[in-house]
Amino acid sequence: MFRPVPCRLPGFIKTYILTPVGRFFSCSIGMAKSKFEYVRNFEADDTCLKNCYIVVRLDGRNFHKLSELHKFLKPNDDRALGLMTRCARSVMEDMDDIIISYGQSDEYSFIFKRSSNWFKRRASKLMTHVVSQFSSSYVFYWKEYFGGQPLLYPPGFDGRVVLYPSNRNLRDYLSWRQADCHINNLYNTVFWTLVQRGGLTTTQAEDRLKGTLAADKNEIMFSEFDINYNNEPLVHRKGTALIWEKMEETVTKRVKLPSEDEKEVPVTRFRRRVSACHCDIIGDQFWEEHPDILEDDNC
């Protein structure tokens, strides 16, 4: 593109010289960048180390208040747990480099494969994208799980990024989170049983459970309330692991034959979908059944 530039020649004749417009833009932009671009030097390099699993873990911010105001059922509200898992599925479907996610209560961990190059492995970009996608999904899908009950205020989540260099490190991390799920759920189950069925106040129930071990808590539930903790739903005791699974589907496709006739033929294809598992991920069985989750340690 060209733009006219006025120019006076001898004899007071006014004329115009066509000058490429791009030259003016490149010049002005170049000057602006050279003047202000120095501020980029204040940015810290947060590129994640290569050949490491990137774990983004988010936690609900002040979810005790949110659960109280929205009257979540105690000790576990399946609506809230289902909503959390739906949000996690939304994140995985948006970022297919996530190989597995694990969630319990108001937290979820998202594990990116070691070879992932999403956002050039910038920790801040990965964390903010996961947290924002999850938070917006929580608001978007709220009605699917809570019906006409209004969401009284926007929920908040914080996030962090941790790197794990080996398969063993990653498995130990996930084992730690599932062990935490078991410890917390066992305590909450017996605590709210003492309150709701035992008639104790929350303070009395807390005092009753001070210094008790897992065996003591199981004994209280079984001997006093005829509750076998092992029969409690797996989603409460084990949490939720989201993984990618291949799904086979058959569709009908129209094919043109040499005789110029068309024929419908069945075609089998494979698609990936996010699947939820409520099972033990501390032992070896889960990993042996899903060997494609972890990458080779010799990469």
63 is in an annotated binding site: yes
Residues 6+ apart with CB under 8 A from 27: none
Instruction: Output the DSSP codes for 253-277.
Output: EEEE-TTS-EEEEEEEEEEEEEEEE
8 is in an annotated binding site: no
Q: What is the dihedral of CA 44, 50, 53, 56, to 10 degrees?
A: 20
- How does DSSP classify residue 48? P
Sign of the dihedral defined by the CA atoms of residues 141, 147, 152, 156, in that order: negative
61 is in an annotated binding site: yes
Q: How far apart are CA 136 and CA 155, in angstroms?
A: 9
59 is in an annotated binding site: yes
Q: Are 103 and 278 in contact (CB under 8 A)?
A: no
The CA distances from residue 64 to 71, 103, 184, in Å, are 10, 17, 14
Binding site residue list for GTP = 59-64, 105-106
Binding site residue list for Mg(2+) = 59-60, 106
Binding site residue list = 59-64, 105-106
